[in-house]
Amino acid sequence: MRINPNPTDDVLAALSTTQERQQTVLLQLSTGRRVNQPSDDPAAAAIYSGNVAVESRIDQYLQSVASVRALNQTADAALGSIVTNLNQAISLGTEGANGTMSQLDLNAILQVVQGVLNSVVQLANTSFHGTYIFAGTATTTSPFTLTPTGVTYNGNEGVNNVAIADGRALAINVPGDQLFQQPGSSVMDSLQQLITALQSGDHAAIGTATTAVSTSLSYLSAQRAFYGNNLNQLNGDEQALQQRNLALKTQDNGLVGVDLAKAATDLAQAQTTHQAALAAAAKVLQPSLLDYLR
């Protein structure tokens, strides 16, 4: 039978191994992860690292979706208010076109329609977090200016695009010139036309101008559909991103997550093994210490 001439080294090595095992299991329990460094499981760690990168992009996309949704909701709400104002102008214009109305009555309508024009211009200059929604890509420029001779557009024809998924970007705005200005006329021009007709007291001109406002309303409503469609698309994109994120996190848990019940059992076994190693060490090391003391 072979006898180890230096059993102390073996005992110390065993103690180190059992202690290391305890520390490994304790780390797993504290982090909730089986893989805490690449060497724990290189293959799983590599896949997990790739997943984390994708999840980070998804989180950014979800933030973009939320921001674009809020912007589009703000735009749609502003357009909804403009529609309400235009309907009011149409109703008043229809009344004003009635040949029985006096100029005094028309002047009262005129004041309200002037207020409608002011409100429409103000709403067309709606901003979101400090940027103008309807200015194209010139988002720091107030897009519409009301002057004594009419309304001017100060923005551009640019469209802003935002990435909301890998390989997918969404146009998030309609520039103001396209939104409010159809060929040959504009929402603001039609209101100005109605104001001029009311000032003149020409009932036929009031009727013609009211029809122009109605035409502008129909055009604006068609353009407004862009934002409703965008909001529907964003809801679908958000759901797809969330499902992808959930699938990746589920895979992550299978790759690097720890089975807490198993880890607790492993810890108990590691502690028992370590205690046994300590007991064995006491038997081996004690005589050696006595020999040294002698």
Residue 159, domain CATH:
1.20.1330.10
How far apart, in whole angstroms, are the C-alpha atoms of residue 20 and residue 102? 98
202 burial type by CB count under 10 A (0-12 exposed, 13-18 middle, 19+ buried): middle
Inter-residue contact 73 to 235 (CB < 8 Å): no
Q: Is residue 36 part of a domain?
A: no
**pLDDT mean across residues, the chain:** 86
Q: What percent of the chain has pLDDT over 70?
A: 76
Residue 233 pLDDT: 95
pLDDT band at 183 (very low <50, low <70, confident <90, very high): confident
269-272, Cβ contacts within 8 angstroms, sequence gap of 24 or more: 270/18, 270/21, 270/22, 270/25, 271/22
3-class secondary-structure state, position 158: coil
Q: Tens of pLDDT along 114-152?
A: 999 999 999 999 999 999 999 999 999 999 999 888 899
* Structural domain boundaries enclosing 69: 52-250
Helix or strand holding residue 267 (H, E): helix 260-293
**How many whole angstroms from its chain centre is CA 204?**
50
Q: Is residue 228 part of a domain?
A: yes
Q: Is residue 133 part of a domain?
A: yes
Q: Is residue 257 part of a domain?
A: no
Q: How many CA atoms lie within 13 A of 119 on its CB side?
A: 18
How far apart, in whole angstroms, are the C-alpha atoms of residue 213 and residue 54? 50
Q: Is residue 164 part of a domain?
A: yes
Extract the tokens encoding 97.
């076109």
How far apart, in whole angstroms, are the C-alpha atoms of residue 269 and residue 11? 18
Q: Tens of pLDDT along 39-61?
A: 888 999 899 999 999 999 999 99
Q: Is residue 1 part of a domain?
A: no
What's the number of domains the chain is made of? 1
State the pTM of this model.
Answer: 0.78
Q: Is residue 173 part of a domain?
A: yes
Angle at 70 between CA 65 and CA 76, to 5 degrees: 120
Residue, of 93 and 287, whose pLDDT is higher: 93
Q: Which residues contact 19 (CB under 8 A, 6 or more apart)?
A: 274
The residue with tokens 């977090």 is 129
List the one residue out of 277, 227, 271, 212 whose CA is nearest residue 80: 227
Distances (CA, A) of 135 to 77, 88, 111, 165: 17, 25, 28, 25
Q: Is residue 198 part of a domain?
A: yes
How far apart, in whole angstroms, are the C-alpha atoms of residue 25 and residue 271? 10
Q: Tens of pLDDT along 61-90?
A: 999 999 999 999 999 999 999 999 999 999
